[in-house]
Amino acid sequence: MFKRLSKTKEPDNAASAYDYAVFLLSLRLRTVGEMRDKMQQRGYSPEIIVQTLEELHRQRYLDDGRYAEVFLENVKAYKDLGYYGIKKKFLAKRLPVKLVEKVLNEGLSLNDELVIAERVLKKAGYKAKALGGDGDGPRYNTYDEKLSKQKQKLAQKLKSRGFRGEVIAKLIY
């Protein structure tokens, strides 16, 4: 279906490397790490890759900080992932760990994560109040085995999507 990636015949051609990088960016935004990987797979020399990446950064075509902010806003709006799930996505995009943590700490508050978690529960067919209480304190004074298993199942679902324990506890327990 897709054409197999072929190695370049001119690994030291800066113009060809730049054109290839701009082509990749025309398809979608990329991080510096993703771009470096693509260019290495294509067979460009390390010097040409560094030179091309510097030029793209100078022209503001590559900016990991801005990429991370835009990506976080999209994930918050359209995906059902918590803090750790989003962090995993960021790291898969080859973003630096310090940048990832900075963007997440500034851009994803506990309230934002609670809203996303409530969206997950709503899609699963549950309401936070159906699990007990108003969300401010302990929700049940008595033990109910059926409800306890339901809570465990929902907590595991949220945990598997990368939500912090604090968020899960506020929402379910």
pLDDT in the model for residue 3: 61
Distances (CA, A) of 74 to 68, 77, 88, 107, 163: 10, 5, 15, 12, 17
Angle among Cα 120, 122, 123 to the nearest 5 degrees reads: 65
Interatomic CA distance for residues 88 and 102, integer angstroms? 14
| 116-169 confidence digits (pLDDT tens) | 999 998 888 876 544 554 545 444 444 567 778 888 888 999 999 999 999 999
Average pLDDT on 46-75 reads: 95
Architecture of the domain whose range is 14-58: Orthogonal Bundle (1.10)
Interatomic CA distance for residues 119 and 109, integer angstroms? 16
Q: Would you state the structure tokens that stand for residue 17, as one six-digit string? A: 């490397």
**Which residue is it, tokens 């020399």?**
45
The structural domains of the chain, with segments of one domain joined by +, span 14-58, 64-107, 110-172
Interatomic CA distance for residues 100 and 81, integer angstroms? 15
pTM over 0.85: no
